[in-house]
């Protein structure tokens, strides 16, 4: 590897090791408790049915979260193990694909996988929810791993390997679509394109299964029950949707442009190989699939948030392929990308629209590592849970958490006298209390 690549590989491995250190202080949060509450109240199958009818159609993601062992995990081990288990799985799946598609050695494939992990991390809009929150990881990170393994299986199947890859692929399609709506839309689009390129019975089977699964997920009664009624005039309603689409797309595009030169410099060889084996018309079609979930979220008037992370990585990679295919010399500006990655969150929007702010995460990672007392954060959260559990009162007032990391997920309770948030409601249900608030 070149000296340049070795530096970024060292940085990627360092970030992975630092995340392992952060995991030692990770704790259960918000929805982790409410999923356990649902299982306790309805039983596993009853809770699956209740969530589908009243909450949403993520039939696999929600079901997996219902198995959350917060009630019996007194040592808080799962929050410390699960993030690293998923990160290792992600890197392993990426390495498998580099080895399968580019015929690299195992060592080189792992190196490339760590470099890809680096870019995946800086592109994330919210590291804490994506990596370290158990509920969030299951819904937003796990399906990406499924999708990566599905890509590997489809390549094996395309090369005429054993039928077992067909059955594994079908299972992965069912699981991935049942995890996350955005992954579901992207996967549906890719399987449609796959059938368009190669009209075989196998590809038709994949498309039929994915379509059935996406209908099961999207037509869940819980999805419609959670949609807020909008009383805006039709013109204003569609104007808002257009604005959401424009701002969301601007955010995704600008963030991609800022990081793209560095990505092209690191992965130029692989990008050129993809282009050499692909038709540009087909690449544009694949790139256009990323607009489907953007339009979907704009229709729901959903601003930039954790849902966009799955769009981000797909849109970014396909945009990189297209830029190189048109021989645009972006890589010479790699140093600008490197500098941009070091800046803290760029806060230019009002607080209510802070999800549109730009953040490349490296500053937060370094700041938490150098300045945040992670052990104190863990102790304070554990002390809060102990106070709630040991209190015989129906109404419990606990101290605020004074140390809040940026990288580890945390959502504070509303204070006494303030309107209660869903976080208060979740803990109250789980611990069977009338009221749980923080001190003013």
pLDDT digits over 285-326, tens only?
A: 999 999 999 999 888 887 777 778 889 999 999 999 999 999
Mean pLDDT of 421-428: 91
Read off the tokens for 149.
Answer: 């393994």
CA distance 116 to 338: 15
User: pTM of the prediction?
Assistant: 0.94
- Running DSSP on this structure, what letter comes out for residue 29? -
Residue 336's pLDDT band, with cuts at 50, 70 and 90, is very high
Per-residue pLDDT reduced to its tens digit, 324-335: 999 888 888 999
Distance of CA 126 to the CA centre of its chain: 8
Cβ-defined contacts of 51-54 (< 8 Å, 24+):
51/222, 52/220, 52/221, 52/222, 53/220, 53/221, 53/222, 53/225, 54/221, 54/222, 54/225
Report the run of H or E that residue 116 belongs to, with start and end.
helix 106-123
CA distance 145 to 138: 10
- Provide Rg for the chain, Cα atoms: 22
**For residue 225, pLDDT beyond 80:** no
- Running DSSP on this structure, what letter comes out for residue 90? H
CA distance 250 to 293: 15
Q: Given the structure tokens 């749980």, which residue do they identify?
A: 436
Phi and psi, residue 140, nearest 5°: -110, -30
**For residue 440, pLDDT beyond 90:** no
Count CB-CB contacts under 10 A for residue 16: 17
Mean pLDDT of the chain: 92
CB-based contacts of 182: which residues, under 8 Å, 6+ apart?
A: 293, 296, 297, 307, 308, 310, 311
Contact 255, 358 (CB under 8 A): yes
Which residues is 436 bridged to in the sheet? 396
CA distance 421 to 436: 11
């Amino acid at each position: 590897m070149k000296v340049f690549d070795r530096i970024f590989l060292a940085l990627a491995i360092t970030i992975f090791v630092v995340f392992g250190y952060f995991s030692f202080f990770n704790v259960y949060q918000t929805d982790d408790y409410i999923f356990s509450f649902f299982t306790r109240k309805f039983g596993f199958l009853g809770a699956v049915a209740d969530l589908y009818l009243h909450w949403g159609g993520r039939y696999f993601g929600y079901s997996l979260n219902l198995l959350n062992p917060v009630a019996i995990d007194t040592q808080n081990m799962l929050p410390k193990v699960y993030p690293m288990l998923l990160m290792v799985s992600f890197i392993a799946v990426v390495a498998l694909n580099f080895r399968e598609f580019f015929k690299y050695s195992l060592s080189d494939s792992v190196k490339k996988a760590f470099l890809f992990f680096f870019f995946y991390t800086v592109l994330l809009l919210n590291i804490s929810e994506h990596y370290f929150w158990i509920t969030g990881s299951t819904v937003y990170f796990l399906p990406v791993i499924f999708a990566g393994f599905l890509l590997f299986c489809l390549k094996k199947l395309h090369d005429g390997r054993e039928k077992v890859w067909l059955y594994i692929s079908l299972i992965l399609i069912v699981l991935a679509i049942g995890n996350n709506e955005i992954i579901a839309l992207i996967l549906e689009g890719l399987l449609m394109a796959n059938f368009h390129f190669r009209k075989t019975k196998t590809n038709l089977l994949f498309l039929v299964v994915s379509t059935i699964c996406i209908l099961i997920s999207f037509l869940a009664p819980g999805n419609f029950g959670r949609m807020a009624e909008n009383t805006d005039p039709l013109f204003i309603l569609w104007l808002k949707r257009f604005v959401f689409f424009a701002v969301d797309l601007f955010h995704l595009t600008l963030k991609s442009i800022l990081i793209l030169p560095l990505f092209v410099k690191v992965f130029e060889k692989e990008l050129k190989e993809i282009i050499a084996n692909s038709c540009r018309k087909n690449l544009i079609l694949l790139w256009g699939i990323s607009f489907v979930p953007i339009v979907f979220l704009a229709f729901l008037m959903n601003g930039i948030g954790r849902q966009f992370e799955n769009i981000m990585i797909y849109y970014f990679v396909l945009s990189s392929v297209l830029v190189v295919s048109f021989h645009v010399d972006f890589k010479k500006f790699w140093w600008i990308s490197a500098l941009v990655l070091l800046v803290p969150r760029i806060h230019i929007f009002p607080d209510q629209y802070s999800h549109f702010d730009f953040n490349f995460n490296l500053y937060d990672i370094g700041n938490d590592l150098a300045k945040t007392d992670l052990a104190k954060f863990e102790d304070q959260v554990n002390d809060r849970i102990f106070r709630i559990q040991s209190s015989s009162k129906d109404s419990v007032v606990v101290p605020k958490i004074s140390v809040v990391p940026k990288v580890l997920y945390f959502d504070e309770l509303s204070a006494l006298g303030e309107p209660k948030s869903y976080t208060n409601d979740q803990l109250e249900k789980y611990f069977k209390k009338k009221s749980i608030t923080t001190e003013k």
